[in-house]
C-alpha cells in the first residue's frame, strides 16, 4: 500500500521559525564588531600601490591573497573602522593606507553621497 496520495493538504503552513541563515562562515565587522555571515560582509584587503604605501581595496571576487578585514557595506561601519584604525590592525599595516577605493565602493553600495 502506498501513501503517496494520502498527503493531507494543510490549510495553514507550518509556522516558520524566525531563523537566520546560519550556513557559511561568520566574520566580525571591523566597524561595529558585530558578527555576521561572511557572505553579507565586504572583504577588504591591503594592496601595495608601489610607492611603499598600501591601498585598501574590496575583494569583490573573494580571491585576493593576504589578510582580510571584514566590513558591513555600510558607511557607518566604514567610518567607525577608520576612527578605530581597525583596518591597520586587522591587516597588519602601518601608516595611513589609501582608503578611497573602499569609501567609493561602500558609498556606491549604500547610495550615500
Binding site for Zn ion (CB under 5 A): 29, 31-32, 72, 77
> Toward Zn ion, which CB reaches closer, 49 or 112?
112
Burial per residue of 87-98, b for 16 or more beta-carbon CB atoms within 10 angstroms, e otherwise: bbebbebeeebb
Q: How far is the CB of 12 from Zn ion (least distance, A)?
A: 37
Q: How far is the CB of 40 from Zn ion (least distance, A)?
A: 10
C-alpha to C-alpha distances, 83 to 9, 16, 66, nearest whole angstrom: 56, 40, 23
> Toward Zn ion, which CB reaches closer, 31 or 97?
31
Q: Please give the helix or strand (H or E) that residue 55 lies within, else none.
A: strand 54-58
> Toward Zn ion, which CB reaches closer, 43 or 72?
72
Amino acid at each position: 500500500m502506498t501513501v503517496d496520495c494520502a498527503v493531507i493538504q494543510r490549510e495553514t503552513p507550518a509556522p516558520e521559525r524566525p531563523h537566520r541563515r546560519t550556513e557559511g562562515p561568520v566574520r566580525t565587522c571591523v566597524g561595529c564588531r558585530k558578527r555576521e555571515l561572511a557572505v553579507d560582509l565586504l572583504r577588504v584587503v591591503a594592496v601595495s600601490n608601489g610607492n611603499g604605501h598600501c591601498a585598501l581595496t574590496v575583494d569583490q571576487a573573494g580571491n585576493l591573497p593576504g589578510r582580510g578585514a571584514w566590513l558591513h557595506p555600510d558607511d557607518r561601519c566604514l567610518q567607525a573602522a577608520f576612527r578605530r584604525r581597525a583596518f591597520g590592525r586587522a591587516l597588519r599595516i602601518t601608516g595611513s593606507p589609501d582608503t578611497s577605493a573602499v569609501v567609493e565602493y561602500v558609498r556606491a553600495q549604500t547610495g550615500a553621497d
